[in-house]
Structure 1
Amino acid sequence: MIKQILFAVALAVTLVVFAWTISRLAALFKLTKPAFPVTDFGKRIALTLKVAFGQTKILRRPVVGMMHALVWWGFLVILVGSIEMVIDGLAGTERVLGFLGIVYDVIFGSGDIFALIIGVLIMAFLFRRIFMHIKRFNGVEMKHHSHVDANIALSLIFFLMVTLLGMNTFYILDAKMAGHELVGIYPVSQVFAGWFGGISPQSAHLLHEINWWGHILGIFFFANYLPYSKHFHVFMSVPNVFLSNLAPIGKMKTMESITKEVKLMMDPEAAFAEPAEGEEEAVERFGVLDIEDITWKNYLDSLACTQCGRCTSVCPANLTGKLLSPRKVVMNVRERMGEKGPQMVKNGKEWSDGKALLGDYITAEELWACTTCNACAQECPININQPAIILDLRRYIVMEQSAAPGELNQIFSNIENNGAPWQFSQEDRMQWADELYMNQPVN
């Protein structure tokens, strides 16, 4: 009974802290703007099964991709065991899902194997991060705390796998010594149990309890650590894929306010029509200056970002030495929202600290280096759309600051004066073809 009470208290604290974190994030999402209507649920489910659960995009790099995929699939299997532990902790039962029979054996036997696989792979990931100095793990945006955060998260996962195997190992010994029927199959832990043949019944029971509590409390701590870690993608990657923009990659979203102005220009009579009652609209900011201008999808992308660097590693601008790093842009959105968002929630949307996402976090030089080739969006394993926020930041530079590069300003001027990007009047447009056969009279 004492164990149940202690467990209930631990679970309640975990849920309260987690709910508080989620409420803070929900308040920050309220600061953002609409993105696109969420429709076509059939396509979204198919995409989620393919990209999020099937890990098809991350498997483009077969070796490392398979390593990550195995960790993900293993977590999904082990999650069933975590649910069982919560039920056991509250009800005071032991292996309560054992009634599932052969299904239980398959799930928990697979979980036991996956625990070993994940533990080994996590050690490999830590070795890669600490000793191999892989280029895409570094960059100006990857501060010291980013590397420390990654190592902490990986170490926590390794701890969870060790305690899971320890729990299963000493459960086998405890059950056998107490004469209880063994529930489930544990291929890996069965081998480990053979290494502790001379242990006493009391020690087996104690070590089982230590590992049980270590594992479940580790899960509770990890769940509340994740929202403040780069590994928040453990929670956010599936929703982010499900809420992907289903439009073709590279399709640029038009601005409704600009479309409306163009339509008014094409229908002069509408420009002088009296607006209907309640139709007056506040002046809209063109593009993105700060986090109050981003969409909910921009912010969701930033929370889901794994900071893996695959986007930056394929960016042609970055590869040729330009300042642009698509990963940095996404990370800056999350960083800026974390800095300014809580103050806006507290003091109102008009609150300002004198800084902005554009300029103080992301420079114009970075933005204009982007060729909008969409290689970053194509490569991202969880369908983050980096060019979307880059485009909106550039829109602000052009439409609000009138600070486009000289080459673009020349094009804008030509379009305004000549109706085309070229520096020729409409009457002179076909002069280039005067001496070509296609422009000669037909005999």
Structure 2
Amino acid sequence: MEYLPNILFVALLVVAIGYFARNVKKLRRNILLGKQVDVSQNKGQRWKNMVMIALGQQKMVVRPIAGLLHIVVYVGFVIINIEVLEIVIDGVFGTHRVFAGLGAPYDVLIGSFEVLALLVIVTVVAFWVRRNVIKLKRFFKPEMQGWPKKDGNLILYIELILMGLFLTMNAADQQLQQMGAEHYVQAGAFPVSSHIAPLLDGMSQQALIVLERSAWWLHIAGILFFLNYLYYSKHLHILLAFPNTYYGKLEPQGQFRNLEAVTNEVKLMMDPDVDPFAAPAEDATEPGKFGASDVQDLNWVQLLNAYTCTECGRCTSECPANQTGKKLSPRKIMMDTRDRLEEVGRNMDANNGVFQEDGKQLLDDYITREELWACTTCNACVEACPVSIDPLAIIMDMRQYLVMEQSAAPSELNNMMGNVENNGAPWPFNQMDRLNWAKES
């Protein structure tokens, strides 16, 4: 019986880590359903982007209030979880505050953890007020109804409970230290929980031990639950923001990716030595499908983008099409891509890892043509994203499919492309008259 708590803790740890590894494996499989893309160039710039944007929160502070609040939660999350290392060691080996031997540095650590925990609580309350009392417009767009709204609030509740349990655990621990309870060595500084401790006056030593142990178990169990909940939450960006910023787009915002098959064809057309009537070479490969109609047609970086989306809505609030009442929401583009990718993943899980046609696709079933053609390709959404997500890349690939596979461009665009083909200009004028405007100046 003496080692029963240690056995239970190890069992909890193994189950939680095993389930997390399962989710990571599934996540990796889903992302790699996308097409290969070369992201091996400019490694120095990529590392810099990851350090500045993901670690340094460079783009968060563009909006100072929200940025500052987010940094508090982010730093609190990273630093306070250093404390988890001590909890894990204590849980496995049956020790209590195993790092207490560090002396004064340990006091500084625990004290800073407590201050950060309090700041996280204050910040989480502020975030909750912004979402549910002030009701910022970007949190109440159509795509944020239902689960996305519940998920955002649930994360706040979890963080609030975890920080509350941490401070309660410390307050009870401090009382037990003062009582000279066995195993509760004099260690740590408690600048915040010391104000909670008076509420525990009058409790017996046994009751305090029960309270401290209960808060300890619930705190670590809550952290392990949160770790596994990430896969189902918008907070997956806590982990994916780092690879996503590393693999983010490095080209100028206005530079679009050319299709290799089309580029090669244009080069042949411009080569005066090529016979336009020659038969294709025997080893010539088919260009394949142009653009994207489903998630498997996108590249894996775009699918990584979809899983990294924080659902903050900065992209949508900056989108001029959305601001003028159009149906397009860049945030919804990313959420729809992720939802379809998850649906494809569940299909594969149910069919021994092989995707079975389900009569659905990203185009039309998730993202409408009206949304795609509302985009002005201004890159405002790309510039606004705090973790280097590129909704425009997905929009453009789906547009390419509509134009090159289905000839389903809007009539205005078809007219323009017809004029370019026939007249060498977007306007319906004879090529001989193209420069007449210059004579009028």
Amino acid at match of 1:431: N
| 1:72, distance to aligned residue in structure 2 (A) | 0.6
2:246: which partner in 1?
Answer: 242
Name structure 2 gaps, 5 residues minimum: none
- Residue 434 (structure 2) aligned to one of 426, 429, 434: 429
1:414: which partner in 2?
Answer: 419
- Residue 24 (structure 1) aligned to one of 6, 10, 26: 26
Amino acid at match of 2:31: F
Paired residues of 2:35 and 2:299 also in contact (CA < 8 A): yes
CA distance in 1, matches of 2:286, 2:87: 53
Name the TM-score, length of structure 2 as normaliser: 0.92
CA distance in 1, matches of 2:89, 2:260: 51
Name structure 1 gaps, 5 residues minimum: 437-443
CA distance in 1, matches of 2:110, 2:286: 58
| 1:100, distance to aligned residue in structure 2 (A) | 4.6
Which one is further off, 208-217 or 23-32? 23-32
| 1:30, distance to aligned residue in structure 2 (A) | 2.6
Matches for 1:164-243 after TM superposition, within 5 Å: 164-178=166-180, 181-243=185-247
2:97: which partner in 1?
Answer: 95
Matches for 1:249-260 after TM superposition, within 5 Å: 249-260=253-264
1:355: which partner in 2?
Answer: 360
Q: SS at 2:33's partner residue?
A: coil
2:330: which partner in 1?
Answer: 326
Change (3 A) 1:243 1:175: farther
Change (3 A) 1:269 1:101: farther
Paired residues of 2:344 and 2:355 also in contact (CA < 8 A): no
Paired residues of 2:39 and 2:247 also in contact (CA < 8 A): no
| 1:349, distance to aligned residue in structure 2 (A) | 6.2
CA distance in 2, matches of 1:143, 1:285: 35
Q: SS at 2:142's partner residue?
A: coil
Amino acid at match of 1:413: G
| 1:333, distance to aligned residue in structure 2 (A) | 0.1
Change (3 A) 1:72 1:350: closer
Q: Is 1:147 the equivalent of 2:149? A: yes
2:390: which partner in 1?
Answer: 385
Amino acid at match of 1:49: V
| Alignment RMSD | 2.2
CA distance in 1, matches of 2:189, 2:144: 43
Q: Is 1:373 the equivalent of 2:378? A: yes
- Residue 40 (structure 1) aligned to one of 33, 39, 42: 42
CA distance in 1, matches of 2:50, 2:104: 29
CA distance in 1, matches of 2:99, 2:353: 49
Q: SS at 1:141's partner residue?
A: helix
CA distance in 2, matches of 1:435, 1:310: 46
Change (3 A) 1:80 1:358: same
CA distance in 1, matches of 2:294, 2:269: 30
Change (3 A) 1:221 1:325: same
CA distance in 2, matches of 1:257, 1:6: 59
| 1:344, distance to aligned residue in structure 2 (A) | 4.2
Q: SS at 2:77's partner residue?
A: helix
Amino acid at match of 2:395: I
Give every structure 1 segment of 4 or more consecutive aligned residues whose post-TM-superposition deviation is greater than 4 Å.
Answer: 99-103, 270-276, 347-350
| 1:274, distance to aligned residue in structure 2 (A) | 7.1
| 1:52, distance to aligned residue in structure 2 (A) | 1.7
Q: Is 1:264 the equivalent of 2:268? A: yes
Change (3 A) 1:98 1:295: farther
* Deviations 1:150-207, CA, capped at 9 Å, x for gaps: 2222111111111111122222222232265433323212232244343332222221
* Deviations 1:329-353, CA, capped at 9 Å, x for gaps: 1100001111123324636766321
CA distance in 2, matches of 1:282, 1:197: 79
Paired residues of 1:31 and 1:349 also in contact (CA < 8 A): no
- Residue 70 (structure 1) aligned to one of 66, 72, 82: 72
Amino acid at match of 1:362: I
Paired residues of 1:77 and 1:107 also in contact (CA < 8 A): no
CA distance in 1, matches of 2:150, 2:37: 33
CA distance in 2, matches of 1:422, 1:75: 57
Q: SS at 2:72's partner residue?
A: helix
CA distance in 2, matches of 1:281, 1:58: 45
CA distance in 2, matches of 1:134, 1:305: 19
Paired residues of 1:411 and 1:422 also in contact (CA < 8 A): yes
Paired residues of 1:237 and 1:382 also in contact (CA < 8 A): yes
Matches for 1:109-148 after TM superposition, within 5 Å: 109-148=111-150
- Residue 394 (structure 1) aligned to one of 390, 399, 407: 399
Paired residues of 2:143 and 2:332 also in contact (CA < 8 A): yes
Paired residues of 1:165 and 1:189 also in contact (CA < 8 A): yes
Amino acid at match of 1:145: W
1:440: which partner in 2?
Answer: none
| 1:280, distance to aligned residue in structure 2 (A) | 5.1
| 1:377, distance to aligned residue in structure 2 (A) | 1.1
Which one is further off, 99-108 or 64-73? 99-108
1:53: which partner in 2?
Answer: 55
CA distance in 1, matches of 2:19, 2:91: 19
Name the TM-score, length of structure 1 as normaliser: 0.92
CA distance in 2, matches of 1:304, 1:61: 20
2:15: which partner in 1?
Answer: 13
Amino acid at match of 2:178: K
| 1:285, distance to aligned residue in structure 2 (A) | 1.0
Identity %: 44
CA distance in 2, matches of 1:169, 1:226: 29
- Residue 285 (structure 1) aligned to one of 279, 283, 289: 289
